[in-house]
Every structure is written in structure tokens, then in C-alpha cells.
Structure 1
Amino acid sequence: MATFIDPLVRTKKVIVCCGAGGVGKTTTAAAIGVASAAAGRRVLVLTIDPARRLAEAMGIPEAAREPTAVPRARLDALDVPPEGELSAWMLAPEVVFESMVRKLAKDEAHAKEVFANRLYQHLSKIVAGMQEYTAAEALHALSTDGRYDLVVLDTPPSRNALAFLEAPRKLAMFLDERVIGVFLPHKSAFMRAASDLIEKVFTRAFGAGFFDDLQSFLGVFSGMFGGMRAHADAVRSLLLSQDAAFLLVTSPEPAALAEAAFFQSKIRELGLPFAGYVLNRSWAYTRGFVGPETIELPEGAGDTERLALRKLGQLADTERWRAQRDRDLLAKLRMQTESGAAIATPHLGGAVEDLAGLGALAKNLVQLDNR
């Protein structure tokens, strides 16, 4: 039976995976990419910080300046049809920034002027905190350039992802010329007086010369603010549209479930299209589990054999309790969605770090085997 994720991987343009750290969110995003490629689509998995072995399995090189395609031979092993393609890229904020400048600059000379600006050089090196904002720009560029049918975005762990969810709105507010204009040189006496006051405040806070650098930075950028704001608005429109879907990945751990509930409330508050839950690393599906009570001891079995069988029974009871716990959690998650969209993925015994594992997980995501 097909799951609620099956139509998502076949029709959506953007799937955003959110959730706490350590729940297998990156692996789930990669598996969704595999599932969509297996459906014959051209897919990009845009990730933040994949595990080293998972990155190697998908062929993601460190410090890549553009997405890398998974070799055809590896896709053939996953039964991906010829028209299906899978690429991956670990988000590089400085590369996204540079690409955005080149697209929005009037010409190459203008772009070089921006790159040479001292404040821009410092800004482009501040990677921490930029990932969430550049993720929105990368999502715009990569979902609209025609290369991919679907972009799967693996957001930063825990509540840092909220910066990504709100980035388009905040960027559009920041790029309001009425705000930016206060910092630029003016002919108006009133605006000059306001600018002088701001300069004094900035000089006291950051030292002499900073305000001049800021004015220079905003001056070379001023012709691009309209394009940047248009991108921000386009990303927000895309994320609010039916072309997008937000998935919450969680695990049976109480802390992860609490984070998932927080994310769901925030997603609804922002009006984003929430698609459902993935309860990862779950024991909800016993998949043909047979208890030791079906074992018949041979005649003449001694106390050792009987004791061993009793201990097996105790272990089986623990497994049954764990399976029932996860089924109850899955039922609770389904009650928290309007359409009952929640699925559990099996615990595969450890971290999924190769394409074969991703292929197995992908099948479980789109095809339910509830035994």
C-alpha cells in the first residue's frame, strides 16, 4: 500500500525536512531523494552537514561549488530508471552569496566591486548563521533553473531551522529601501542630520571607519536590493504554495517528539504546507515477528533448555512492549495531522551510511509493509 509520501515524491517541487538533531533527518531527506529518482524524476538533495560516510556514499565532495550527480552505475543498482537523476550538494553559503551577486550585478565590473568591498569579504566568511539565510537563496536558484524536478532540503538541526523558515520574510523586511536609505548619503538636510546621528552611534559602538565601510557596502549593493527582495518574495511564495511540502522527522525519544510538536505549531503559524510526520528508527512494524511461544521443545528437554526458552519469552515481551509503544506514538502523531499523515520507518540496526541502505529506506517511505 502506498504511503502519503509516495505522491509527494512524484509531484512536489520542494520537500523540506525539519526536526531535531540526531533523528535521522539528513538520511530521510536523502532517502526521499532516492525514492523520487526511482519514480523517474530529476532530484537534488540540498543538505547542511551530512555524515561523512553518507556524503561519500552519495558522492558529495567537500567544499563543492555546485551539486554533484550520483554516478549512473550507483543509480542502476537502486533500480532507478534512465530518466531518473539524483544529485546532492552540501550547502556552501559563500558560494551561494557569490552566485547571487553575479546574477544580480549590472555587469562583471559591478560584481567585482562588490567582491572587493571589505565588509562583503567579512560577511561572506561568516558561515555560522548564514546557512539558514543562504538556504532560502539556494532554494530559489536551484528550484527555478530548470535542472531539477524536485529539491529536497535538509534543514539545520533543532530550532535553528526556524531562521530558514522565516528568512524570506526577514530578508524582505531588511531590504526595504526606506530602512536601507537611512544609511546612504543624502542631499536632504533632514536625512543628512539623521545619517550623521546614526554615524555617531555606529562609530561609538564599532569604531571609526565602520560607518564608511557600511555606506560603501550598501552603495555597491543598492542596485541589487530589488532583485534580492524579489528572490525572497519568490521563495516565500514557493514555500507557501502547493508545490511545497514540509515533513517533520522525529524519533520515539521524548525530546525529539517535543521538538516535533514545537515545529508543527510553528509551521502552522507561518502558514506553510505541513504534509505529515516520519517516525524514524521505529519498532512500530513487527514485520513477521514470531514469538518463542511457538517453539516446541523436544521430548526429554532439560531444565537448561526450558530456562533458555523462558528467557527468550522475556526478551520477546520487551520487543512487544517496544512495538506497542511505537504504534501508540504513531497513532498519536496521526491524530495531530488533519489527514492522519504519519508513517514509521523501521529501525535498520544502525545509521544508514550507504546507497543500499538509502534504497531500503526509500522503499519503506513510499510503500507500507505493515505486518
Structure 2
Amino acid sequence: MSDEPELGGEATTASRRANSEQDHIQAEKFLREHQLIVCVGPGGVGKTSVAATLALEAARRGRRALVLTIDPARRLATALGLDGLDDSVRAVPTDELLRYGARIEGRLDAAMLETRASYDSLIERLNGAGESTRRILENRVYQAFSRTLARSHAYVAMERLYDVVKSGEYDLVVLDTPPTRSALDILDAPGRLARFLDDEAVRWFLKPRFAGGALSRLLPTGGAAATRILGMLASRQLVEELVGFFSVLWHLKEGFQERAEEVQRMLRADSTAFCLVCSPSRTSLWDAAYLRDGLLERGVPLGAVIFNRAYVPRASDPSRKVGWATPRDPAQRLGSIGLEGRRVSEAMLVLLHELAKLRQDTAAWNHVAQAATDRFTERLPKDCLNVRLPELSEDPRDLIDLLQLSRALFDWETRA
């Protein structure tokens, strides 16, 4: 530990430690007590890495864990040692972690949501296998809906998540969501679908008289004008498929609405926690504040905030002081250890000056970051966990890097 003075005195120094013993204990409790953790946050803050780290740590502690990503971050597959990720669940190979002192007592799996595949599975579950399901899956309007509609993507993400959580196959599911505002779409999607199906214009299309899917049935029910307009914009076959698509929605309406209500309950259950991941940069904290307030407005408790890249470590111990230290002149340093200036080359003095400046810049950055995170935490619920992770030299590239994040977050190596 440096003997140089820290600004603010001992009380301030204590508050500027990376994570306290109590923080690590709370982090363990947070991981242990939840079945679903939804990671939300701005883009570019390492949210996907944090989500993978939480799942990895749960597996290390003997739990069956799945990390499910909606955000197609290809780096996640690489970091997990997989050649790719898709809608199917894949086991993550963890044997090499034994060399680094980490025995994975549980199980770690990973998957990435593919909207079309997830929608197809949903239709099969609600409608059963058979010819009618085949017609639905081949319907071009359905295909466009399931592939491209952004809000549709959010809804099916929640459907997929619901099935995974309720299957009982995993003790913990960690969901990695798209950046910032898209994360709130996930919360709103189930209710939005229910409102969509109850919309007057949609209900007109969903009436049972269209069950046969024949375009001619539009004519005697007042839909001739609408049909002619649609016919000017698209082929007769496409209009038939549009009517067929709404007919499908009518038949599955009750199933969709029931599931939407169940998903809403799951997201607000005591076994579910939302984890906000951000960095101490100004733009990141602005976006994080939007998410924080959006969650609270929706009645969703925020269980944890993880400030990633929140400080630059000055030693291997993540709890060392990160305050703003006053640098000493390099020539004075040399004199204090018995080296006179004439015995040291000019190049060495220049190097020492640069190192001293770098150290000062790092301490200043830590000071500013600490102040920013302190201000942000003032508006968090009292029981909300908030911890800090260090700035790494580069983004995590493999399980070993994720293991280092896990050690910083849970401090399991020094507290075992």
C-alpha cells in the first residue's frame, strides 16, 4: 500500500474501496436466492460478459445455470468456448477451469434467442402438430411477423424465457437483454400483445367468420372496400394469407393472453431479480437512469446494480484504495532509495515522469468515477445490491477472463 496521502481522510478512503466484505456476501445471497436474473443496461458496458459471469459463478457453486442472450453478441460464444450460439441450448465446456483453481460443481449451458425458431416452437405448443400448424408456419404474413417485427421479438423472448424457467431444468437462468430502451420492451411486450388482440380493428379481423380463411367471406361482412384497397397494394394470394394470419391469431388468442399474464407474474415474482449493468461514464449513467426509473415506474424491483469498468486497479487486490493520490517527483523518489540523479540516465527520468503522470491520471479517473457512482446509488432502493468491477485491459475473450470477473465480484478465492 502506498504511503502517499489520500484526499478526503480515512472515512472517504473506506467508502472508496472497490467492494467491501459485506458487498461480496450480498452478491452471493443475490445469486443464491433467485431463479431468474434479467440483466439490463446500456450498450457497450460489458453487460453480456456480466451475465455470463453470473451464470458461470452459479455453476461453480453447484447450480444448473443457463445464460440466454437476446442480444446477438457473437463474442459471447467465443468467450464460452463455443463455435456459435442459436436457439438450441448448448453445454459449455468448463474442464480447463480446473487448472485455474475453479471446479465447476454444477452445469453451465448457453443459448441465443432466434425469433423465428422460438415463434415456430410457440405455435406448435399452442396449436399442436398437424396440418393446420404447417399452414401457419408456411404463411408469408406469419413469417414476416415472426422475423422482423421488433415488438414481436420482445414478446417471443419472454415466451422462450417463460418455458425455460418453468421447465424446472435450471436452478438459475440469466437473461442478457438488448441495450437500454429495448430492455423495457421486454417488460411491456406481454401486456402490449394482450392490448393488441383486444384492439377494435384487430378484433374485426379476428371474428370467427374468418375461420375458413376464404377471402370471399370478407365480402358479405362489410370488408369489400378494405379488400379492394388491399388488392391494389398486394396480390389476391397475399391478401388471403393476411386474412389467414388473423384467423390464426383468433384461434390462439386465449392461449396468447393466458401466457402473457403468466409471463407478467413471472417477471414480478420474488424469485426474479433485475440486474442493471452500467459503467461510470456520463452517457452510460444517463441511459442507466432511464432504465432504473422505467423499472420502478413499472413496479419492478431493482435487485442489483453492477458498475462494470468502474475503476482501474492499482494492485492485484481489488479492494485497495482508489482515491486521488498526490504524486511525488521522480527525482525525489530516486533520492529516497539512495540513487542520485547523476547516476540515472535522462531517459530513465523521462520514463519515471511519464509513469508518475499515468498514475496521477489513473487516480483522477478513479476519483471521478467513484463520485459518479456514488451519486447514482443515492437514488437506488435501500436493499439494492451495488458492486463495482474493475476495468480490464480488454474485453473477456474466454472462460478464464470471465473467471477473473467472477473473482472480483464474489471474492471467492480469498474468502474460501
Judge same fold: TM > 0.5, yes or no.
Answer: yes
Deviation at 1:193, TM superposition (A): 4.7
Matched, 1:20 2:20: no
Q: Which residue of 2 aligns with 1:351?
A: 395
Cα deviation code 1:110-146 (max 9, x no counterpart): 3223213232233333275543222111111111111
Match of 1:170 among 189, 192, 206: 192
Match of 2:338 among 274, 278, 298: 298
Compared with structure 1, are the counterparts of its residues 319 and 311 closer, same or farther at alpha carbon in structure 2 (3 Å cutoff)? same
Hey, what's the Cα distance between the residues in 2 that align with 1:43 and 1:109? Answer: 36
Letter paired with 1:313: A
Compared with structure 1, are the counterparts of its residues 350 and 175 closer, same or farther at alpha carbon in structure 2 (3 Å cutoff)? same
Q: Which residue of 2 aligns with 1:366?
A: 410
Match of 2:376 among 329, 333, 337: 333
Q: Which residue of 2 aligns with 1:324?
A: 367
Matched, 1:183 2:227: no
Hey, what's the Cα distance between the residues in 2 that align with 1:125 and 1:182? Answer: 25
Q: Which residue of 1 aligns with 2:309?
A: 281
Compared with structure 1, are the counterparts of its residues 207 and 357 closer, same or farther at alpha carbon in structure 2 (3 Å cutoff)? same
What TM-score do you get using the length of structure 1 for normalisation?
A: 0.87
Q: The residue matched to 2:341 in structure 1 has which SS? A: coil
Equivalenced residues, count: 369
**Structure 1 residues 1-371: aligned runs within 5 Å:** 1=21, 2-62=24-84, 64-74=86-96, 76=98, 79-82=102-105, 84-126=106-148, 130-176=152-198, 180-184=202-206, 193=221, 195-196=223-224, 198-199=226-227, 202-203=230-231, 210-283=238-311, 286=314, 287=318, 288=320, 293=328, 296-302=336-342, 304=346, 308-339=351-382, 341-367=385-411
Alignment check: 8 A CA contact 1:63 1:92 kept = no
Give aligned-pair identity as a percent: 30
Deviation at 1:364, TM superposition (A): 1.9
Which deviates more, 99-108 or 213-222? 213-222
Alignment check: 8 A CA contact 2:207 2:250 kept = no
Hey, what's the Cα distance between the residues in 1 that align with 2:306 and 2:171? Answer: 22
Hey, what's the Cα distance between the residues in 2 that align with 1:365 and 1:197? Answer: 63
Deviation at 1:207, TM superposition (A): 6.5
Compared with structure 1, are the counterparts of its residues 369 and 267 closer, same or farther at alpha carbon in structure 2 (3 Å cutoff)? farther
Letter paired with 1:15: I
Letter paired with 1:4: Q
Alignment check: 8 A CA contact 1:16 1:245 kept = yes
Which deviates more, 233-242 or 123-132? 123-132
Compared with structure 1, are the counterparts of its residues 195 and 347 closer, same or farther at alpha carbon in structure 2 (3 Å cutoff)? same
Alignment check: 8 A CA contact 2:81 2:398 kept = no
Alignment check: 8 A CA contact 2:49 2:396 kept = yes
Hey, what's the Cα distance between the residues in 2 that align with 1:308 and 1:157? Answer: 41
Cα deviation code 1:155-191 (max 9, x no counterpart): 112322222121111012223386643114566xxx9
Which deviates more, 30-39 or 112-121? 112-121
Larger Rg: 2
Letter paired with 1:301: G
Deviation at 1:309, TM superposition (A): 3.9
Which deviates more, 349-358 or 210-219? 210-219
Hey, what's the Cα distance between the residues in 2 that align with 1:111 and 1:75? Answer: 45
Hey, what's the Cα distance between the residues in 2 that align with 1:198 and 1:93? Answer: 30
Letter paired with 1:274: L
Hey, what's the Cα distance between the residues in 1 that align with 2:181 and 2:378? Answer: 23
Compared with structure 1, are the counterparts of its residues 65 and 260 closer, same or farther at alpha carbon in structure 2 (3 Å cutoff)? closer
Alignment check: 8 A CA contact 2:65 2:171 kept = yes
Hey, what's the Cα distance between the residues in 1 that align with 2:49 and 2:85? Answer: 20
For structure 1, the residue ranges without an aligned partner over 5 or more in a row are none
Alignment check: 8 A CA contact 1:3 1:367 kept = no
Letter paired with 2:179: P
Cα deviation code 1:252-279 (max 9, x no counterpart): 2211111001111111111112113211
Hey, what's the Cα distance between the residues in 2 that align with 1:216 and 1:168? Answer: 23
Alignment check: 8 A CA contact 1:284 1:330 kept = no
Letter paired with 1:47: T
Alignment check: 8 A CA contact 2:39 2:275 kept = yes
